[in-house]
Structure formats: structure tokens, C-alpha cells
A and B are shown apart, each in its own frame.
Chain A
Amino acid sequence: MAQTPEINYYILFANYTHGLALQELLSRNHLPSRIAPTPRSIQGKLSCGMSLLVKSEHIDAVRACIRENQAEYYDIVPLPCQIQPRRDKFC
């Protein structure tokens, strides 16, 4: 049986400055995130640039942190993890 793919949340930004500002804010609030290229499928009007990848277990706290601090961002988009090179290919 195929495994259900993990859902990642991508926070999109108009530019890197806003992305770096939010990552700094999240870091101060002990909320993990990773800078990642924005997947083509969700770029929409923004097209290319950086996003913050947040795991599903942290997304509610991240949304709350953004709201409380009125942080700049463009969108938050859930996306199944497409590529898992280290998955167990023989199961």
C-alpha cells in the first residue's frame, strides 16, 4: 500500500527580505522553518523566489505568530511532498 505523502506548508513572499524577516521572527519564537525554493506549482503571480517550508505540526503556531506580529507574507500553501529520494523503495 502506498504511503500517504507528507504535507508541507509553504509560506510565500513578495521578496527575500520579507521571507528572512519572518524566519527571524519564527526563530525568536522557537518555531522551526526552512528556507526553500518555491515549488513551481504554487508560485502563482509571484513566480520564483524563496519560501519558508513549515511542517504540518507547526503550522497552526506559525499562523498565530504571523497574526500576532502582523508579519508580511503573500500566501500559505499546503503541498504534498513529491520527492522522497531516501524512501524505502522495496516495500
Chain B
Amino acid sequence: MIYLDNAATTLHKPEQVIEAVADAMRSMGNSSRGTHSGSLAASRTIYATREKLARFFGCPRADHVVFTCNSTEALNIAISGTIGAGDHVITTDLEHNSVLRPLYRLQDEKGTAVSFVPADRQGCIDYADFEQLIRPETRAIICTHASNLTGNLVDIARVGAIAKAHRLLFIVDASQTAGVFPLVMEALGIALLCLTGHKGLMGPQGPGGLCLREGVEVRPWKVGGSGVQTYNRSQPPQLPTRLEAGTLNGHGIAGLSAALDYIQEVGLETIHAKEDALMRRFYAGVTQIPSVTVYGDFSGERAAVVALNIGDYDSSAVSDVLSQDYDIATRPGAHCAPRMHEALGTTELGAVRFSFSWFNTEEEVDAAIAAMREISQ
């Protein structure tokens, strides 16, 4: 199989990630649940991974790295833990449902006001809109670093500067960029960074993370077992325990730790350069096919994603033919990004998304271009 659905998850993982998960499954007890060697093996691995993530994302303190199941959980914690009734939030049309649905729920249940920075037909936003949408009761700006549909990048340094100037919380969804683009929380003015471990970070599915700037108060989204302060009726107030109820995915976190080591060994810039080159090679190939429409802005820095359609073919049919006849894995449909599809005018057809990873090759890209040419004839 030629796997080009890396925006959903990277299927090919570094061998050391797989080994780390298997080793952890043979040796780990439950972290923060006792002081025998099995429990401490888990606690130490998780602590070391917090430290690595803090260094990787410029988070000032390791105990401000909170493990979650995925980006969706991190975003739910960040959004529901900081925003409430009477608040106003600014977000964008580029967002995934992991941002939209928590916000819609706040709108419906608490009357929170939400404004959207609109995207144009290319999926681009006008940064002046952020300033124009700010009100006295605005509490936060929440935006993705890159659209999971078009791959368009948001200049989060610019948005972070706007948030800082107006003393707003800046919450970033880095699902599509963590592990591929440099992300330094402090430099970018990010208050809460939400990420998942199984996409660009090349870890196993399961662990994600929420990194908090010091001083940002987040109410717990879930409460329960913590391994400490048993007779306290409330969730312990200290981070990371405050936001981590229940057993952590120690096995997955061990894999994520190995993945972070792998990325450090290879180099973030090297990974980004290869993914970018593969994506642009594919773009150059498919834009030569007359009936193909490609969505998004390819003029500058972007994530390694190309979304397209062939004429008026249903995107699901195209993706199915790619899978059945060419053994090429892509993602059709709406990609949990309803507002982005509305902006692009693709709610009827959906789009076929090709997304590239460090483990793809030029030969695979060329095979995908050839398949697209054949299907479009």
C-alpha cells in the first residue's frame, strides 16, 4: 500500500517507537500508583517524556505538560477549562470539529459568543479580521496552526502577537504541525498548546498533550483517580495531576518518547524539508492534469497536504478507486472540517486529501500522480 493519509495518522512509525511500546508493555506498572519498580518504571518514563516535550515545544515547565488521549481531549480541556458564560471567543473557518464542537457546545449550553475569521475560496484568512472581531468581553483566540484539509498554514506568531497586545488567551491546535514545524510556545505567545502524538510526531495512537504557559488557570475537564491526595474530595490543584485524572497511557507515552528521540536524531528541518518536497512534487504533477482542481494556497510555507477533486467526481468514489485499483490510501469526504469545505465550495463533492510523511518516497508520489492521470482520463 502507498499510504498518503498521514494527516489522519502516520501509519509508518520509526522501528524504535514500536520497540519502545513493546518494551513498555513488558515492564511497566501503573504510573503514580506506588513505588515498586514496575510503577516507578512507568512514572520515570512519563516524567522523562514530559521533560522532552517541554524542551521540544518551549514549554517553561515539565509539570505544565499534561498528557491527554489526543488533540481533541486537549482542546476540550483547554476550551471548557478557560471559557464560560459571558465570554467571547474568536476562531477561524479553518478549524477541525475538535475545536468547533466544544465551542458550539459552549454556545448552546452557556451562551458563549463565538466569532469566526472567514476563509476565502483559497482557504486563506485576513489577519486584520482578528483585530476587528475583538470585543471587551473577548477571552481567547483559538486557531489551528495548519488546516487539516488544505494544508494552509496560519501565521501563529502574528496571531499570538495580536492576542498578546489585547491580553487574550491564545490557544493553538497543532495537530497537523507538531513534529514537523518548529513550535516554541513562549516565542509564539501561546498560552495553551494542544497536540497529538500519532501524526507528525510519529508516536503511537493514544497519547496527546496539552502544554500550559505558567500562570494560565485551567479548570479540570475530568476528575477522578490521581494516585495522590486520596482523601481530598477535589481533584488535586497541582499540575499536571489537576488535569490528568485516571491511568495514563504509559505504553503509548513510552512510544512517544522514542518518537521524540527519533525526530531529534533526524532533525525537524530535515523532516519538514522532505515532506515539503514530496508535497510540492505531487502538486506540480497533479496541477498538469486539466480536470483536477487543487484547493489551498501553495505560495508559501504550508503543511504537506494536497486536497483536490477531479471534475465533478464524488471524492469518495475517487478515493475508493485509488484504494481498490491502485492500493493508494487517501481520505475523501469532509475531513471533520465543515466550515473549511463551505468556504472552498466543496460541501457537495467533498475533496480527496493526499497527505505526506517522512516515510513517503518520490516513487510513491509519482505513482499517485500517474494514478490520478489515469483516473481523470
Contact = CB atoms under 8 A, between A and B. Distances in A.
Interface of A: 13-18, 20-21, 24, 35-37, 45-50, 72
Contacts of B43: 16, 20, 50
A72 to B, nearest CB: 8
Contact of A35 (B31, B35, B240, B241): B35
Contacts of B226: 15
Given A17-B50, A46-B228, A47-B229, A37 B35 contact: yes
Contacts of A15: 32, 63, 226-228, 236, 238, 240-241
A37 to B, nearest CB: 5
B231 A37 contact: no
A50 to B, nearest CB: 5
A20 B227 CA distance: 14
B71 to A, nearest CB: 22
A91 to B, nearest CB: 31
Interface residues of B, number: 24
Contacts of B44: 20
B227 A48 contact: yes
Contacts of A45: 229, 231-232
A40 B34 CA distance: 13
Nearest to B65: A17
Given A17-B63, A17-B240, 14 more contacts: A14-B228, A14-B236, A15-B63, A16-B31, A16-B227, A17-B50, A17-B62, A21-B47, A24-B47, A37-B35, A47-B230, A48-B227, A49-B32, A49-B228
Contacts of A36: 35
A18 B230 CA distance: 17
A20 B228 contact: no
B40 interface: yes
A47 B227 contact: no
A21 B62 CA distance: 9
Nearest to A19: B43
B154 to A, nearest CB: 32
B238 A14 contact: yes
Which has the most chain B C-beta neighbours within 10 Å: A13, A16, A21, A37?
A16
Contacts of A20: 43-44, 47
B34 A37 contact: yes
Given A20-B47, A50-B35, A35 B40 contact: yes
Contacts of B63: 15, 17-18, 21, 72
A41 B44 CA distance: 26
Given A35-B35, A35-B40, A18 B227 contact: no
Contacts of A37: 34-35
Nearest to B47: A20
Contacts of A21: 47, 62-63
Contacts of B230: 47-48
